[in-house]
A and B are shown apart, each in its own frame.
Chain A
Amino acid sequence: MYMREPGRSEAEQSRLAVRVAVFAGLAVVLFAVGVLRLWQLEILNGDEYLQQANDNRIAEIRVQPPRGKVVDRNGKILVSNRTRNELRVTPVELPPPGPKLKAEIRSLSQVTGIRYLDLKKKLRPENADVPGGAVILSQDLGLEKVFYLRENRDRFPGVDVERVFVRDYPRGYLAAHLFGNVGEVTAEQLELPRYRGLRQGDLVGQSGIEYEYDRFLRGAPGATRIQVDSLGNTRGTLADKPATAGQNVRLTIDSDLQATGEAALGSFGLPGAFVAMDPRTGEILAMGSTPTFDPAIFTRPITESQYRQLTAKQNDAPLANRAIQGLYPPASTFKLITATAALEEGLITPQTVVEDTGEVTVDTISFKNAGDKVYGPIDMVDALRVSSDVYFYELGLEARASGDGGQIQDWAKLYGLGETTGIDLPAETEGLVPNPKWRNQLFSEELTDRPWTDGDNVNLSVGQGDMQTNPLQMAVAYSAVANGGTVVTPHLAQSIETVTGETIEEVLPAAKRQIEFSPGTRETLLDGFEQALQEPTGTAYQVFGNWKIPVAGKTGTAERGTDVPDQSWFAAMAPAGDPEIVVVATIERGGFGADAAAPVVARILEAYFEIPQVPSAVGKSGAVSD
């Protein structure tokens, strides 16, 4: 019918042409859109998507490196590693609830010794360290059990035994306070530049030497790179990046000297500490603190009660390293500073004689010699030898003190008291050198009962009152006299070494400052210190008299309040002429300096100079001189 109507047919035809053109136009647009989008994805952004594809398929399993060893100055191993078999169960990989799960938990209960119900509770997925991760059932699984689980692997889906590195301490408790512990890096730490490149789960030193030299000890984690499919199944291994073992740290510690010191200190069963240092370099030869602890306790998650025991005051806080963290009045060992200040500030000359009447009264308060002794007319050397308090009280009265300083205070600071020594251990205390401003400030805040008085300076002159220090600071101060004025920066690490023992870096911290002594000052001090040990009237003659090697030193007996026995102090240097070792020891509740601390120092010096042990008990060496 349309054929007979050519006019309409033509209209029809042109209409069709228009519509086909519209349709074709649509097709062109759609194809163009497709090609442009393809261009955008593949040509413009191809690299980005390739990266994403690789992120999809490559899973990295971190391989923890063995940490570097810590050895003593003679290369003896103090801290190394051992492997431990951790029993890990991944709850999400366990069989679904049913008889299979029950059977597996029952078997695991037998293997681990954990009660069935407790185990069931432990294996809830929410107990895993990370979502979908594992629960650690045993930190140190016995080898027999490891083999049993390996042989019956098909019966224990979701159970893995993983070998992990933990710190090993072949010398047991030796130098426990120095090493510190290793633990997983925390979320806050990961923010710090110090821990750049690390990831959650990596182990870092959290205290002690482990913390201080972590960047060397840490090593570099490696990675086992595996290709995984969309379900996480392993589909082949890619190139592995091996872990790089950490570098070793060689300490300045002599482990034999350390052992001697610890034994001597430990024999009193009282809290205390000692430091043996080379005054020329600041190298710590030995450093100990009692009570002590087993450093291996930190290789397992520590319980709250364990931690309480390590830090509780009634246990004398074994975790504290009293050598650097103690806050003690140094008592007469402080007379080094008072004497220096008096000589250098011109309050007195070495020849000035003071009449020791056994008592000094300041504002109605009476200050007496220990044991109510009266020494009569004495000069500086005499005063150091017999440890006359009255002589130094007079100096304390005479010395100027105002604002945040004073003649004694300023010299105390020059010797390094009241500030951290800069030793390569974290958590060192500053101590306190009291001054008028500090005390008056406390008073204005009503934190103390009275402002600064002359009595405070008198107390300070003999290292009592508010003065606070620790054995390490005293060792630094005595080293300054011993070496001619250099305030050294003490250090525990000698060098960083490769795994094979080649030195990479020597640890040589710069000295803090140089004290310029006036002529005669140092000689007078050393003379007094020497006489205190060598002369029969000296305070420590009973311990050091008759020694072949001349030792110089100073005793100290600190009052720690009523009802508390005195704290024993002793600082020594040897050989007296050109000291190569300075030893400081203190024993809380130890009594007279010569009775407790001096014998400890004597044992250390004997070991250092290889003096044959005299068959005499601690504290009775005086018998030798008879």
Chain B
Amino acid sequence: MEARRGRIELTNDRPSLAERLRLSYMDPWMLTAAIALIAFSVFTLGSATQDDIPGQPLYFTFRQALYGLIGIAVMIAVARFDYSRVREVRIGLYSLMIGSILMVFLFGAAARGSRRWIELPYFRFQPSELAKVILIVALAGFAIEMTRRMDDPRRTIRILLLGSFPALLVFLQPDLGTALVLGFITLTILFLSGAPWKHLVAIGGVVVALGALVLVAAPAAGVPILRAYQQERLTSFLSPSANPAEAGYQVNQALIAIGSGGKTGRGGDSTQADLRFLPERHTDFIFAVIGERFGFLGAGFVICLYALLIWRALRLLIQSKNFYGTLVVGGIAAMLLFQVFVNIGMNLGLMPVTGITLPLMSYGGSSVLVTFLAIGLMQAVHVQMRLEPGDGANNTPLR
């Protein structure tokens, strides 16, 4: 149905702006979800961060709106390109990604004990954010390269190593959250690209063993791998109120904020966010702000928008005209799902506090732009599918 309408518009002699931007080839639901999310983010920031910077009530609101607009432009621009060509420059992109992460170690700006940003004019760029998308397009390329030797453990190990290296570098910044996102992306691409179950089971075993080593064995042996605050954050979420003054404080305040929202929220009477009991309320804990201000309805609405986004991604994953597209969309879906669940889970006291942003909702240029870039890539897959529709049979690895 949608496809037909797209064809009808093609009969115009002079293509409209929308036509030239290939808006009609995009997935409208995915577009709706993305724009609704950024709009809701701007709306929330507008009502909840007015007192944060004296004299500039709309500081965060205005900037987030600007990032959103630039992001939408990036998304539309990216959607026009044939993503398949990206595969050819995977090695270059991968190198660029590693290089940019290393740059942080050299020139990065430190904030609260970790170096994550590079100062640019008007902008602080966070390479690890961009690294997520670059890793997806590069790793998807590497994965396809080796589909013939699917059962060869060396293929699995190579993909794992390609994904783990940037994850390790990011972990050393230290940015545990993004490192975990990179890890999840790698595993998902490996999984979707068809790695044998026994390899996956083996990887699962290694991950569990590694987790045990890092969290239990190494500290017990006196070799802490995680920094004290990381360790504390990872374990304190299990019982946040046990230690309300320290690591559990953030989670506890987030729970109080969300819980106090009730069915329809406290609106202008919100106090947890407005009186700054809630930490990082415009970034990591913005979901708690939504929970307090707009209640179950508002928070549930946001979750629905993410569900819509992920659903459209999964649908697109099947329909992609080629396997590269499938893996790229799969990687992006993994990235979004992981970030959404870990961030919301952390706000709800289900997951440890790891500093992972809520895509399109948390304030921050790097995060917003990179998320729109990722959605733009998915739209590109959609556009290509619409231009050269496959029936699913075409959805096979290219060569």
A associates with B: yes
**A12, B396: Cβ atoms closer than 8 Å:** yes
Residues on B with beta carbons closer than 8 Å to the beta carbon of A231 = 276
Are A42 and B262 CB-contacts (below 8 A) given A16-B194, A19-B192?
yes
Are A45 and B259 CB-contacts (below 8 A) given A23-B192, A230-B276?
yes
* Residues from 28 to 43 in A contacting B, C-beta threshold 8 Å: 30-31, 33-35, 37-39, 41-43
| A49 at interface, CB cutoff 8 A | yes
**Assembly CA distance A16 to B397 (angstroms):** 11
Are A2 and B271 CB-contacts (below 8 A) given A38-B299, A41-B255, A42-B299?
no
**A1, B399: Cβ atoms closer than 8 Å:** yes
**Assembly CA distance A254 to B349 (angstroms):** 70
**A53, B256: Cβ atoms closer than 8 Å:** yes
B276: shortest Cβ distance to chain A, in Å? 4
**B337, A27: Cβ atoms closer than 8 Å:** yes
Are A23 and B333 CB-contacts (below 8 A) given A3-B399, A13-B396, A35-B303?
yes
Query: Residues 315-352 of chain B: 1 if any A CB is under 8 Å from the residue's CB, otherwise 0?
Result: 00110000000100010011001000100110011100
Residues on A with beta carbons closer than 8 Å to the beta carbon of B275 = 56-57, 227-230, 235
Q: Of A19, A37, A235, which is within 8 A of B191 by CB?
A: A19
**Assembly CA distance A13 to B255 (angstroms):** 44
**B260, A46: Cβ atoms closer than 8 Å:** yes
| B354 at interface, CB cutoff 8 A | no
* Residues from 328 to 379 in A contacting B, C-beta threshold 8 Å: none
**Assembly CA distance A26 to B345 (angstroms):** 15
Q: Of A13, A26, A46, A53, which is within 8 A of B271 by CB?
A: A53
| B360 at interface, CB cutoff 8 A | no
Residues on A with beta carbons closer than 8 Å to the beta carbon of B260 = 46, 49-50, 52-53
* From B188, B194, B257, B396, residue with most partner A Cβ within 10 Å: B396
* Residues from 344 to 388 in B contacting A, C-beta threshold 8 Å: 344-345, 348-350
**A34, B345: Cβ atoms closer than 8 Å:** yes
| A20 at interface, CB cutoff 8 A | yes
Q: Of A15, A30, A38, A53, which is within 8 A of B337 by CB?
A: A30
**A38, B399: Cβ atoms closer than 8 Å:** no
Residues on B with beta carbons closer than 8 Å to the beta carbon of A27 = 307, 310, 314, 333, 337
**B291, A12: Cβ atoms closer than 8 Å:** no
Q: How many residues of A contact B (CB 8 A)?
A: 44
* From A17, A35, A53, A227, residue with most partner B Cβ within 10 Å: A53
A350: shortest Cβ distance to chain B, in Å? 84
| SS class, residues of chain A in contact with chain B | helix
**B148, A16: Cβ atoms closer than 8 Å:** no
User: Nearest A residue to B396 by beta-carbon distance?
Assistant: A9
**B350, A37: Cβ atoms closer than 8 Å:** yes
| A240 at interface, CB cutoff 8 A | no
Q: Of A20, A50, A230, which is within 8 A of B277 by CB?
A: A230
User: Nearest A residue to B277 by beta-carbon distance?
Assistant: A230
| B240 at interface, CB cutoff 8 A | no
**B330, A33: Cβ atoms closer than 8 Å:** no
**A31, B295: Cβ atoms closer than 8 Å:** no
Residues on A with beta carbons closer than 8 Å to the beta carbon of B257 = 49, 53
**B277, A38: Cβ atoms closer than 8 Å:** no
Residues on B with beta carbons closer than 8 Å to the beta carbon of A31 = 303, 306-307, 310, 341
| A499 at interface, CB cutoff 8 A | no
Query: Residues 255-268 of chain B: 1 if any A CB is under 8 Å from the residue's CB, otherwise 0?
Result: 11111111100100
Are A12 and B194 CB-contacts (below 8 A) given A42-B295, A42-B296, A229-B277?
yes
Q: Of B263, B314, B330, which is within 8 A of A46 by CB?
A: B263
**Assembly CA distance A1 to B253 (angstroms):** 57
* Residues from 222 to 239 in A contacting B, C-beta threshold 8 Å: 227-231, 235
| A24 at interface, CB cutoff 8 A | yes
Known: A49-B258, A50-B260, A53-B257. 19 other contacts (CB 8 A): A1-B148, A12-B194, A12-B397, A16-B194, A19-B194, A30-B341, A31-B306, A33-B345, A34-B341, A35-B303, A38-B300, A41-B258, A42-B259, A46-B259, A49-B256, A50-B262, A53-B272, A53-B277, A235-B275
Q: B residues engaging A (CB < 8 A)? A: 147-148, 188, 191-192, 194, 253, 255-263, 266, 271-272, 275-277, 291-292, 295-296, 299-300, 303, 306-307, 310, 314, 317-318, 326, 330, 333-334, 337, 341, 344-345, 348-350, 392-393, 395-397, 399
3 A-B pairs with the lowest CB-CB distances in the bound complex, closest first? A49-B259, A46-B262, A53-B260
